[in-house]
Structure formats: structure tokens, C-alpha cells
Amino acid sequence: MLRRPTGNKLGLLSFQSLSYRRPLLYSHTVLPRYQSNWSRDHDREAFDGPNSERNREPKDNGKREAGTFTLDVDTLGKPGQILVVPSRRRRMLNRNRNKTPKNESSGTISSILDELNEESSSPSDKSVQERIEGVRGSYQLGQTLPAADLKALWSKLASSFTYKQLSDFISEYNRNNVIEEKGWTWGSSNSKSQDKSLGKTKGFRGKSRAAETIVRDCWQLVAEGESGQLEFRIPAQFISLLLHAEHFSFHELASLHGCGIDVTQSAGLVSLTGKRNDCESVHEIIIDATGRIREDDVGINPYIHGDGAGQVFSPDFLEWVNNTHGVFVEHKAHRPPQKIFYLAENKLGADNARRTLNLALSNTTSPSTPFSTYLPASELASAYSYRPEAHASWFEQQKSWFRWAMSSSQNADAENLETPFFDKHQTRLSDELLKLLRVTTPKTGLAAGLHESVTAVVGKCLFMQKPSFDDTAISPAQLGRLSLPRAFTNDVPRVSRFIKTLMPIRPKNEAPLYRLRLSPTSHAGSPPELEIELAINSNLDGVDVHSVKAILTTNSVDYLLPENGLDLRFTRTVSQDLLYKTSPHSELPQSSFEQLLSEPSSPQIQAMLQSLKVSLEGSIVGSGASKSPVPLPIFCSITLPCDLVPQSASQIKSKNLDESMTETENSVTVEYMFPPLTDIRGAIVQKYDFDGRPLDYRYYESGSLLAARTNEVSLGMEIPQTDSAAENDQSEQLDQEFHSFYNAACDMAFKIHGNRYVD
């Protein structure tokens, strides 16, 4: 039976009764409550002990001991015990965590907290770098490994380190390594089927992106069969050049390496897709190609030709030049091109392109040619559409043309053409034609070595067909009022049959004669064109120059033959014979230039002849021993007397820019260009006798700008110099001679097309 104790002290019996009601966790450890009959000083001191925390002041940050202590209270017949745990003020131990507690064991709570404190401290940057490098293990830089291993490596980095640690590693790597920026990204930028565990997608941020950068860029590890994208930039003009280059192809290069490629010319951007090693190989080849790009001046002087020259070089024309010659011509709006880019191995293509630009400027800026016909002004003829194709220049092929003719002339098989209008036309119409040709007279007067001649060339006169022109029949007067642009093509379909009926003039055992027309480059100012005639020497190891003429002026008239399938172009030429030798007994006054020509061994003339021989000797001699086409050189430098190269005010202004002219005492060196003949044999002139007159015939194939095929059939007439004292008599005689020449030229045109004779 239990009873309540009479005093405030806890009796033994009551404590035992409490133990029976609530089982003890530990039979030998008891946590007693303080009894009310304990004294506040003596009893508590006996319970807590002399070192109790309640009565002890902190000493030098000393560490309180923990453990089991025996009490002076008995329970269940045994001494009572108490468990002391560390104080909650353990954070104070951080100031002296280097001190090791004397009685601390590894299994206590204090040791666990100390280990956590050590882990919370920041390790050194060097140790972090070493730990990150340790994750790579045995993998070598740039090694290819299975996709699963790459994914595991990537995940381990992301889970084992903080974002700051990974970022610091990347920054340190970039500082210690020179990285070529090539814009590499893993996975296609426009592909949605990439493995998100390997490809770079928008979902990856923070540590995942940093871990990817370390694995791919720092360690350069590659997953088997994985593709990516490589983007890099090069100058836009370099891309344009490589796109037009004959021996370079972006797409073929990428295909050979198993890559895809996308080239954006305007942005100067090249994008490669595929395996990294393959893309980098293609990148290196492209960069190597850009290292072989050269740059030259086009050589068109803007001071000489003015702003009108910029209208010739349209974007379509320059694009065609780039495609044809494998170059890139840099061009600004309303200005002539100034720079040309080309690969070092394509120097020949660059020279051809520069010649093409110069020829385009000289051909399109030539003065317009008037036309005439024997048909009455009110008589109608038809407009027949015509496509010149290979017999016209590139500019002419871009337009629509028609030929003005009678319906009877359209029969290609006609043997006997009916020409009622030609038979009845005015017999002295040739006089007006000669006056039209000689409307301008050179200022040289009776200069020694001066020649004036007229040639009649067979071809077809074409009128440009505008969209608003819908008339099928039109009179000569109406045709003149339209002022349509014209072209003259040397399309002579039946010329071979005609030539076979003629007798050659030059004996077969004589060396063939080469005739060439050389034009100065547009940068050279206004030197004259040169017409040269030369032949291989008797030893067959060099050339002899027979004639060198400076073309002072030319003007032409197209003469329409509507009753025939062909027309005529009459051209009057005034030239100066640079090899002319005056007679010592001549009473004519001699200029400084004539005195120079009268000296056969003058240094200027000898230098000119030597430059011509050096330029042409190899081609002419080589053509005799080769059956393959032998091209002409493109440019040459020729020394001319200063009197032949007049300089205008604009040329004097641009003299410092004119690099194609080098002036010395009494002479000047000028850059000339040869015609773009495919084979130098096309310069051979075949002479035939046509009704007692010499007829010249040439067939040649030309370059890309001019007509691809040309049949040149012409008659020539020399016009003698007139004396002012007997000018009237000589003029009448000249009219008669030209009338005879006019009839012979018309007869030639009718005979080539059909079996027609002119009386």
C-alpha cells in the first residue's frame, strides 16, 4: 500500500512506486527531479558537483567534458547516475577548432559536428582544379568515347562541383590556352531530334552548361557519331571570289569530308555541320584558300572616263565577269571598278578579267554610227526578228534585235535575187556616202607617213527592238526618226563557198601575214590604237615586223541592202605609219616626230619593235610547231613617241595615278592589250583577188566578251593625199574611184548571199 510522504523530501518508497508505474529506459541511469526539501546552495552543489556549469564561470574557452557521472542519491539499491551532454554553446568552439579535445571519441556528436564544420570550409582553388581534372581520369584530350561515358562524365562534373568552381576552372583554362574562336556548337542549331543529354539546348543552364563546356571545349572529348555546327566569318569579297573560282567549290569540299555547308555571301558567314574533326578540316582548307587571295587594281582611270563609265559596269555584267574568269571585281555604285580579287594560281583569269573590263568600256563608249540605204525614203521594208547568238558580243546578246529587209531577201536558197530598187537607185549615191565618211579630217595635213583608207566589211546591220515597237513594215525615213541603237555582226553563213571561187594572191611558199589591232588600256589615257602586221622570219625562229600604224581616227557608216541577206559597213581610217621613212630629197617640212621616223635606228623605234617582237615571238613561232590553239598574250608595254600620246587636262590631273604610262625623254611607254583571240592563227590574213581588187578574209574565234565566231570579209581602198592646188580635180577623180569601189563592195555582198552581179 502506498502512502504520501509527510515531508517535502522524496522518499525511497515513493520513488520505487514511480518506477513500477513507468518502465525505465536504463536501469542504471536515473534523471531525478530536484526535491523541494533540497537546499538551494548545499543540496544543489552536492547534486551538480563542484564543477557544475551552474556555478562555474567560463575559463579560457575551455571545453566542457561530457560523460556519465555518479550521484550521491541511491535508487533501487544502487548509486544514481547522470548523463552530461555538451553545452548548446558549442559554436564558440569554431574559434579554436584546431585544438583537439583530450577525451573526445570518434563516435560522439561533437566529432560529427567538427567534421561538418571542416566540410563547410572553402577548399583552395588549386585543389578544386586538381579534383576537376581528376574526374577526367584516363581520357586523353580530344579522345572519342561512347556517348554513355561522355554523359556519365558530364553528369559527374555537374553533381560534384558548384557552378562557381566549374566557371573558375573554365576561366583559368581560357587564360592559359590560346583558343581559336571558330563558333563550334554541338548539335544542329535547327534540329529537334538531337539527344538532349548530349546536345546543347535551351534547357541547359548553370552547372550543366559549365560541365558541357569543360567536357567539350576544355577537354575536347567527343562522343562517337556525334555531329555539331561550326560557324566562322571571312570577308564577303573573299566568299564571292571563292564562289566564282574555277578550281574551288565550297559544296564539293564539304561533300568530300562528309559535311553540310551553308554560305551566306552578304554576311560573310560560313556554316559547317558534321563531325568536329571533319568540319575543322574543311575550315582549315577554306582559311588556307583565303591566304592565297591576291588583290590588283583594275586600271580604269575615273578622271579620264568620268561618271559615265560607271553605267557600263552593271551588276549583271560584273557578275558575269566574276563567273567567267573566276575572280571578284569590287564595285561601287556609279563608279568604275577599282579592285579585282583572285587566287594566286588564277593570275591568268585576273588578267583576262581586266582586259574584259577595258574592252567593255571602249566598245560601249564608242560614238554612234550613222546608216544609209539606196531605198527611197517612202518605200517600206519589213522588220524581221534576229538572234545573233555567237556572232555578237555579250552586251548585244542581252537585247532583242531585228533586221530591216525585203521579204525576198529572207530566202536563204535564193540563187538569183531580184533587186529592182538597187538597179534603179541613183548612180552617184556613193558621192554622198564618201562625204559622210570624210566629215572629219585629221589636223596632220600633209604629214609624212599619213595614210587614209576605206574598208567595206560584209555583215548584218541590226536594230534594237524596243517593247513599244510593233510595226512590221517601216520606211527608211521612219527608221531614221526612231534613232534605235544598232549593232553590226559578222555573221556570213555562205562565205566559205564564196571564198573557194576566188584566187589567192599570196603565194603558198611565202610566210603567212599576221594582222593585229592593239588597244590601249583605259588607264593609259588616249594613246592611239596600233595595227601591226608581222610574219615569221625565214629561219622560223623569230618574227619580222612589216608594218606598225597608229590609228589616228576612224568613223563608219552602215549601208543597208534590204534586197539582200547581208549589209555593208564602210569604215574610213586615218593612220600614221610608224615605220615610214621619208625621202632625203623631200621638200615637205618635217616635224620632230617625222625626223624621229626618218632615222631607222632611233632608240624609240627600236624599243617599240623590240617590245612587239618579245610579246609575239613566242606565240607565232610556237603556232608553227603546234596543232593545238596558241593564245595571244594579254598585255604588253610598247614605247611610243611623245607626239602620239596627247594628254588632256583631266589626264594631267591624274598623272600621279597613271601607272600604265611611263614617260622618258621624247618617248612614253604605254600598256596595250591584245585582242582576245582563242588561237593566234585567227590573226592570219588570207588575201584573194576579187575582180582585180585585193579581198581580205579572216576567220577567228574570240574571247567571252566579244563575238565567239567572226567571219571577216572586206575590200579595201587607199585614198591618196590631195594637194590644195589641184584639190578640185583630185576630188572628182576620188569620187570616181570610190564609186567603183562602192559597186565592187555591193557586188561582193550580193555574191556572198546569192548569185548576183553588179555592173
**533-575 pLDDT, tens digit each:** 999 988 888 899 999 999 999 999 999 999 999 999 999 999 9
For the residues 646-663, what does the mean pLDDT come to? 50
Q: Which residue has the cell 538572234?
A: 387
Q: Do 302 and 255 contact (CB within 8 A), yes or no?
A: no
List own/partner pairs for 121-130 with CB under 8 A and 24 or more apart.
Answer: 125/168, 125/172, 128/161, 128/165, 128/168, 128/169, 129/169, 129/172
**What DSSP string describes 691-739?**
TTEEEEEEEEEB-SSS-SEEEEEEEEEEEPPPPGGGHHHHHHHHHHHHH
Q: Which residue has the cell 618617248?
A: 667
Given this model, what pLDDT does residue 469 score? 73
Given this model, what pLDDT does residue 195 score? 44
Is the per-residue pLDDT at 749 higher than 90? yes
Q: Which amino acid, residue 78?
A: K
Compute the distance between CA of residue 548 and CA of residue 426 in angstroms, rounded to an integer: 39
Q: Which residues contact 236 (CB under 8 A, 6 or more apart)?
A: 265, 266, 267, 268
Compute the distance between CA of residue 625 and CA of residue 621 in angstroms, rounded to an integer: 7
Q: How are beta strands 473-474 and 543-560 bridged, if at all?
A: unpaired
For the residues 368-396, what does the mean pLDDT come to? 91
CA-CA-CA-CA torsion sign (588, 589, 594, 597): positive
Q: Do 204 and 154 contact (CB within 8 A), yes or no?
A: no
Q: Do 357 and 330 contact (CB within 8 A), yes or no?
A: no
CA distances from 737 to 238, 442, 538, 719, 756 (A): 61, 21, 37, 9, 22
Compute the distance between CA of residue 188 and CA of residue 108 in angstroms, rounded to an integer: 56
For the residues 708-734, what does the mean pLDDT come to? 83
All cell numbers assigned to 661: 604610262
Q: Which residues contact 402 (CB under 8 A, 6 or more apart)?
A: 383, 384, 385, 386, 462, 463, 465
Count how many residues are written for the chain: 759
CA distances from 58 to 81, 89, 165, 437, 611 (A): 25, 11, 41, 129, 113
144-158 burial by CB neighbour count: b if 16+ within 10 A, else e?
Answer: beeeeebeebbeebb
Please state the pTM of the whole predicted model.
0.72
Compute the distance between CA of residue 74 and CA of residue 102 in angstroms, rounded to an integer: 31
Residue 617: count of CB within 10 angstroms of its CB: 16
* pLDDT tens digits along 209-236: 888 888 877 887 877 777 888 899 999 9
* pLDDT tens digits along 234-264: 999 999 999 988 889 999 999 999 999 999 9
Is the per-residue pLDDT at 91 higher than 90? no
Q: Do 506 and 413 contact (CB within 8 A), yes or no?
A: no
Compute the distance between CA of residue 515 and CA of residue 363 in angstroms, rounded to an integer: 20
Q: Do 115 and 93 contact (CB within 8 A), yes or no?
A: no
Given this model, what pLDDT does residue 139 score? 83
For the residues 483-503, what does the mean pLDDT come to? 90
* pLDDT tens digits along 692-710: 999 999 999 998 899 999 9
**What DSSP string describes 437-468?**
HTSS--TT-S-TTEEEEEEEEEEEEEEE--TT
Given this model, what pLDDT does residue 493 score? 85
Compute the distance between CA of residue 168 and CA of residue 125 in angstroms, rounded to an integer: 8
Q: Do 654 and 622 contact (CB within 8 A), yes or no?
A: no
Compute the distance between CA of residue 145 and CA of residue 154 in angstroms, rounded to an integer: 12
325-347 burial by CB neighbour count: b if 16+ within 10 A, else e?
Answer: bbbbbebeeeebbeebbbbeebe
How does residue 329 score in pLDDT terms, banded at 50, 70 and 90?
A: very high
Q: Is 606 helix (H, G, I), strand (E, B) or coil?
A: helix
Q: Do 129 and 106 contact (CB within 8 A), yes or no?
A: no
Given this model, what pLDDT does residue 589 score? 45
Percentages helix, strand, coil for the chain (3-state, rounded to 5) are 35, 25, 40
Strand extents, DSSP E, 50-174? 67-75, 78-84, 144-145
Q: 321: burial class by Cβ within 10 Å (0-12, 13-18, 19+)?
A: buried
Q: Which of 686, 692, 696, 688 is nearest to 744 (CA)?
A: 692
Instruction: Please provide residue 496's backbone torsions phi and psi, each rounded to the nearest 5 degrees.
Output: -65, -40
Q: Which residue has the cell 517593247?
A: 467
Q: Do 111 and 105 contact (CB within 8 A), yes or no?
A: yes
How does residue 183 score in pLDDT terms, banded at 50, 70 and 90?
A: low
Identify the weakest region by mean pLDDT among 141-150, 188-197, 304-313, 371-380. 188-197
For the residues 482-500, what does the mean pLDDT come to? 90
All cell numbers assigned to 744: 565592187
Residue 550: count of CB within 10 angstroms of its CB: 20
Compute the distance between CA of residue 572 and CA of residue 456 in angstroms, rounded to an integer: 9
How does residue 7 score in pLDDT terms, banded at 50, 70 and 90?
A: very low
